[in-house]
Structure 1
């Protein structure tokens, strides 16, 4: 991938993360916490992909995003272990919410997860190069 192409992918991932955060908030307001949590996960997922692409990595799967973020950002101390756990928890919830038969989450718990997702997105955004870090 060229530098120009990489920068465009990073900008697109950041935009998708922001859109997913707005969707999660709207779904929570509408009283749909299960789906709100899946959107919160995708917000963090896309922001993590932006950070990984900006750093030269090209994750191909959801698990790849978790692995590469842990290896290159959590383990070296660029992100707190707690932030890695937030991503892992939201990833688990997303799988259970989308594919499980019995996943239930109440609105207060989903609201806490949305706050955690917003915080993690901001932490991840801070790791982006300046040209990728601007809000659209």
Structure 2
């Protein structure tokens, strides 16, 4: 069987606005946006990040789903973005609407890690790549 992880879909209130945020905050370019503006994808490296609006999500799941909300605690899931300059990426993202969740720190294994929330309330980890310990 040939299987690979292809993309992550985040359900959001406003797909074009969210895609604009990820473009301005991180430089990710639009890959696809439906004419109905209810689904879009951005190029974020080897994995695609996709966005679908709440209405599309509700049509996919008969029992509905919990919507991410900046006024609530974040979900226990995050998007991790690696970079060699964590501080600059975090500053640029905050300047473009991200909310600081946790300042960056250096973990015991040497990785620098900081946390933001996007305009929908999703957690974004900004970190250096983990160095091979072997």
TM-score using structure 1 length = 0.29
Higher-Rg structure is 2
Which structure is higher in strand share? 2
TM-score between both structures, scaled by the size of structure 2? 0.30
